Amino acid sequence: MQSSCDLVIIGAGAAGLSAARAATQAGLSVELVEAMDRIGGRAYTDQASLPAPFDHGCQWLHSAGINPFTREADRLGFRYWTDPFVIRIHDGKWWLNDQIVEEYSAFMEATYDRIEEAAKAGDDRAASNFIDRTSPWAALFARNYCGYVAAAPEHSSTYDTGRFRNTHEDWPVENGYGALIAATHADVDVNLACPVKSVDWGGDEIMVGTSKGMIFCRAVLVTSSITTLREERIKFFPQLPAWKRDAIGRIEMGYAEKVAFWFKRDPFPGLGMHFAMLNWPDAPDAAFQVKPYGRPMATMFAGGHFARDLFAQGEEAAIAEAKTLLAKVFGPEILREIAGVKATQWVANPWIGGGYSVLAPGGGEARAELAQPIDGKIFFAGEATSRDAFSTAHGARQSGIDAVTAIANALRAV
């Protein structure tokens, strides 16, 4: 293959798909290339492994009231649940009562408020500095934070919490968020199984080297994950400037993985969809989503380094650990009820390499710097570049659209 176009977009996740649509609408000729044999990237609904759709990646419409994918769900007839988050806390022996759960919720809100205030005051330090370590809830807060942010509070800047545009509407998509994103972009042309290996941007024309041949173009939009950038899995000639490499170095990859169990019958009669939090002294950074959408299911969510180290050992090891925790929390007899199980493999996926991005303490404006183009030729989008909706699918989408506005302006100016 040898071809030429105005714009090559690397990666057909939420950012790349939305960018391709916007660029075509802006009158640019576009080649969207994707390393995997499917679209969606971290937006992936597995329709085959269990009797119901299982989202390996994004599942919740975060900030749903202002999230354009909510409108797409309405348009396309996808169902989502608007119920408030319900939590239960297990102390290793039994469930804590509702009053104690409320105490924890109050502690959690106050701690998030302190982290946010620190960010607003320009205090770009680790979020862990704002947890009251004398509280009996400190460890559970850190565990929850890790589940949400994909990194321990020690490894994450206050700026992320302070800057995220949060309407506190987190609505899971019953038919699958990945399926929704795929359906939204069903009309976008994608060159699948076509990894980009190199981008030679030294001359007037840019040369993009892919496994299927060379593409000549005027601009490149890179949307691949922060791991792929940190590990330089795409070679740039000349190499990216120091300021860009420095920004990439101040954004870490967080880790988020799941193991979903399907049961022969409902092992949680009388209970609705909720999260079961683990709160014993050496509990891992994990929790269970119980009965999603009323289904006979429990999904273990693992976060941070616990998720990284466990899932790097492969699917079997992850499932074995999830079973141990399942039995500890719900009783060993639940293991006999398992009818199906599936684990995610984000950390081992060479085109992703983890969950979602995390601003390192002291990371400052790294996300905005990552979003900055180079010489009107190399542009960046993807969740890690979003200032106020990083780590999300709708943030990735918006970053793709914003990048195309900048690209169209740059190409028009030449």
Ligand X SMILES: Cc1cc2nc3c(=O)[nH]c(=O)nc-3n(C[C@H](O)[C@H](O)[C@H](O)COP(=O)(O)OP(=O)(O)OC[C@H]3O[C@@H](n4cnc5c(N)ncnc54)[C@H](O)[C@@H]3O)c2cc1C
Q: Does 247 bind ligand X (CB under 6 A)?
A: no
| CA terminus-to-terminus distance, the chain | 27
CB 349 within 8 A of CB 376: no
- In angstroms, the CA 99 to CA 84 distance is 18
Selected binder of ligand X within 355, 369, 377, 407 (CB under 6 A):
355
Nearest distance from C-beta of residue 357 to ligand X, angstroms: 8
Structure tokens at 272: 């609705």
Please list, residue by residue across 118-147, b when 16 or more beta carbons sit within 10 angstroms of its beta carbon and e when fewer do. Answer: bbeeeebebbbebbeeeeebbbbbbbbbbb
Q: Is there binding between residue 392 and ligand X (CB under 6 A)? A: yes
234 in contact with ligand X (CB under 6 A): yes
Q: Which stretch binds ligand X (CB under 6 A): 22-30, 54-62, 120-128, 405-413?
A: 54-62
Strands 196-200 and 235-237: parallel
Does 254 help bind ligand X (rule: CB under 6 A)? no
Q: Is 289 in the site for ligand X (CB under 6 A)?
A: no
Q: List the x/- string, 180-219, binding to ligand X by CB under 6 A.
A: ---------------xx-----------------------
Question: Which window, 118-126, 287-295, 322-330, 348-356, contacts ligand X (CB under 6 A)?
Answer: 348-356
Residue 43 engages ligand X in binding (rule: CB under 6 A): yes
Q: Which residues neighbour 232 within 8 Å (Cβ) at sequence distance 6 or greater? A: none
* Residue 235 Cβ vs ligand X, minimum distance, rounded to whole Å: 10
* DSSP result, 354-399: SS-EEEPTT-TTHHHHHHS-BTTTEEE-SGGG-SSSTTSHHHHHHH
Contact map string, positions 114 to 143, toward ligand X, x by CB under 6 A: ------------------------------
Cβ-based neighbours of 169, under 8 Å, separated by 6 or more: 61, 62, 63, 64, 65, 82
The shares of helix, strand and coil residues in the chain, as percent rounded to the nearest 5, are 40, 25, 40
- For 286, the token pair is 């994990």
Q: Rounded to the nearest whole angstrom, what is the least distance from the CB of residue 89 to ligand X in the complex?
A: 21
Residue 19 sits in the site that holds ligand X (CB under 6 A) = no
Residue 262 within binding range of ligand X, rule CB under 6 A: no
Stretch that binds ligand X, among 58-66, 71-79, 127-135, 274-282 (CB under 6 A): 58-66
Of 41 and 162, nearer to ligand X (C-beta) is 41
Does position 36 interact with ligand X (CB under 6 A)? The reply is yes
Residue 317: DSSP 8-state: H
Collapsed DSSP state (helix, strand, coil) of residue 108: helix
Closest distance between ligand X and the C-beta of residue 159, in Å? Answer: 17
User: 338 near 299, Cβ under 8 Å?
Assistant: no
Which residues bind to ligand X, rule: CB under 6 A? 10-16, 33-36, 41-43, 57-60, 62, 195-196, 223-225, 228, 233-234, 256-258, 346, 351-352, 355-356, 382-383, 391-394, 396
